[in-house]
Homo-oligomer: A and B are copies of this chain.
Amino acid sequence: MKVIDLRVRDIRFPTSRSLDGSDAMNPDPDYSAAYIELVTDGETDGHGFTFTIGRGNDICAAAIAALAPYVVGREVDTLDLGEFSRRLTHDSQLRWLGPEKGVMHLAAGAVINAAWDLAARRAGLPLWQYLTSLSPDTIVDCVDWRYLTDALTPAAARDLLADRLPGRAERAEELLAGGYPAYTTSAGWLGYDDAKVTRRALRAQADGFAMVKLKVGADLHDDLRRFTAAREALGPDFPIGIDANQRWGVGEAIGWVSALGHLGPYWIEEPTSPDEILGHAAIRTGLAHAGPGGSPIRVATGEHVHNRIMFKQLLQADAVDVVQIDSARVAGVNENLAILLMAAAFGKPVCPHAGGVGLCELVQHLSFFDYTSVSASLSGRMIEYVDHLHEHFADPVRIVNGRYAAPVAPGFSARMHEESLTRYAFPDGPEWKDV
């Protein structure tokens, strides 16, 4: 079986019309996907995508097309997914455009994820179970260890994975029976009024979600008022995370979050630039006594952290309490395996970023695998959930009692309905043609 075509489509959903997804830095996103199909000469195809928020989705599509020579013509049966991912990220000329960051890296991630979708489908397993079925050696070989070994060696990663082999099957059964904890961001978009926020937060609490998250950072008085209303509605102990979407510099972050500290935020997410290794460390230190009764406030980041080297440094600098992987920002499953392994080695929980379009569908597989095979823990762990756009997927996430139910269909849950792909094609699909 061979890959005979790499098909790319520019798909955009007009989410800016309802202010869903609005925050301090992203006032009007149109959730979009540079959507790809690895077409084979067999019965199984692979699907994947790069998530963007509108303009520039076409640039990602062009970048994906530039990777076609690495994909088209490859034998599927003998495809080594470690070697494949390293080739995509180390083309000696394309690497100049990063290296390993920005548009070119987003494109590599989409192609690599599609290859994993194809591999899992060929194996007849959902991706998380396919990953769980792989040996420690195979997982280690999937990782690009360049620039990582001062923090974690392949041998240490292999030992860590081997240590988790006992109980792996039982943990998979546990996930199939009871799912994985989730929190929701759907209550607290910045474009929503207070009543809508409180109403939706209460519903999320009643539904069994482990946390709700509020967007902050545009106006401190607004943040105080909204957070106070949510805290009063949800009670003193219910976890409420806050998310500034990179709005602040270091000093401003410490000051602003300290002013909200008495309300007991569970974490502050993206307080500053995702490039800030030292800045996140300084903010974490600055918030070490800013919570109720002088307790620390956790620092979380990752959705815009562009590769494993940056995650490595956030861990080395003890700059974060929570590692927020994203399924489609870094170079796909392989690079996320590296990040999961490093987070486990440094003892930090992974709470993935999701939402957008299709990010929940993808990233759940990585957290499920993290539990079966890497961290083997659910403590302090939960997957972000946003209740938009799942209807476009052939195998959408299922939330049961505020938890992610285990995906059971073969593959990476990346596939969109053909009808959606046609309708939201940009700029010529029916949803856009007359705008």
Query: How far apart are A62's CB and chain B's nearest CB, in angstroms?
Result: 5
Among candidates B25, B99, B106, residue contacting A97 with C-beta atoms closer than 8 Å: B106
Q: Is the CB of A278 within 8 A of B277?
A: yes
Inter-chain CA distance A56–B104, complex, in Å, is 9
**Which of A26, A101, A316, A317 has most chain B Cβ within 10 Å?**
A101
Q: Is the CB of B53 within 8 A of A309?
A: no
Which single residue of chain B is at the shortest CB-CB distance from A254? B150
Contact segment of A76-84, A86-94, A260-268, A408-416? A86-94
Contact segment of A27-35, A200-208, A294-302, A368-376? A27-35
A interface: dominant SS: loop
Inter-chain CA distance A279–B150, complex, in Å, is 9
B-chain residues with CB within 8 Å of residue A105 when the two chains form the complex:
102
Query: How far apart are A88's CB and chain B's nearest CB, in angstroms?
Result: 12
Q: Is the CB of B29 within 8 A of A95?
A: no
Q: Is the CB of B56 within 8 A of A306?
A: no
Which single residue of chain B is at the shortest CB-CB distance from A247? B146
Inter-chain CA distance A147–B274, complex, in Å, is 10
B-chain residues with CB within 8 Å of residue A95 when the two chains form the complex:
25
Check A275 for interface membership: any CB of B closer than 8 A: yes
Interface string of A268-309 (1 = CB under 8 A from B): 000011111111001000000000000000000000101101
B-chain residues with CB within 8 Å of residue A181 when the two chains form the complex:
none
Query: How far apart are A355's CB and chain B's nearest CB, in angstroms?
Result: 13
Q: Is the CB of A276 within 8 A of B147?
A: yes
B-chain residues with CB within 8 Å of residue A304 when the two chains form the complex:
99
Q: Is the CB of A309 within 8 A of B59?
A: no
Q: Is the CB of A26 within 8 A of B96?
A: yes
Q: Is the CB of A99 within 8 A of B246?
A: yes
B-chain residues with CB within 8 Å of residue A106 when the two chains form the complex:
97
Check A148 for interface membership: any CB of B closer than 8 A: yes
Interface string of A234-255 (1 = CB under 8 A from B): 0000000000001001110000
Which single residue of chain B is at the shortest CB-CB distance from A32? B93
Q: Is the CB of A97 within 8 A of B150?
A: no
Check A55 for interface membership: any CB of B closer than 8 A: yes
B-chain residues with CB within 8 Å of residue A149 when the two chains form the complex:
249, 251
Q: Is the CB of A309 within 8 A of B276?
A: yes
Which single residue of chain B is at the shortest CB-CB distance from A282? B150
B-chain residues with CB within 8 Å of residue A251 when the two chains form the complex:
149-150
Interface string of A32-59 (1 = CB under 8 A from B): 0000000000000000000011111011
Q: Is the CB of B103 within 8 A of A54?
A: no
- Assuming A56-B96, A91-B55, A92-B28, is B102 touching A147 (CB within 8 A)? no
Inter-chain CA distance A100–B59, complex, in Å, is 15
Known pairs A62-B62, A147-B272 / 20 extra A-B pairs, C-beta < 8 Å: A53-B92, A55-B91, A55-B93, A56-B94, A59-B59, A59-B62, A63-B103, A97-B102, A99-B246, A99-B274, A101-B102, A102-B102, A102-B104, A102-B105, A147-B249, A147-B250, A147-B273, A147-B275, A147-B279, A278-B317
The interface of chain A, by Cβ under 8 A from chain B, is 25-30, 52-56, 58-60, 62-63, 66, 91-106, 146-150, 246, 249-251, 272-279, 282, 304, 306-307, 309-310, 313, 316-317
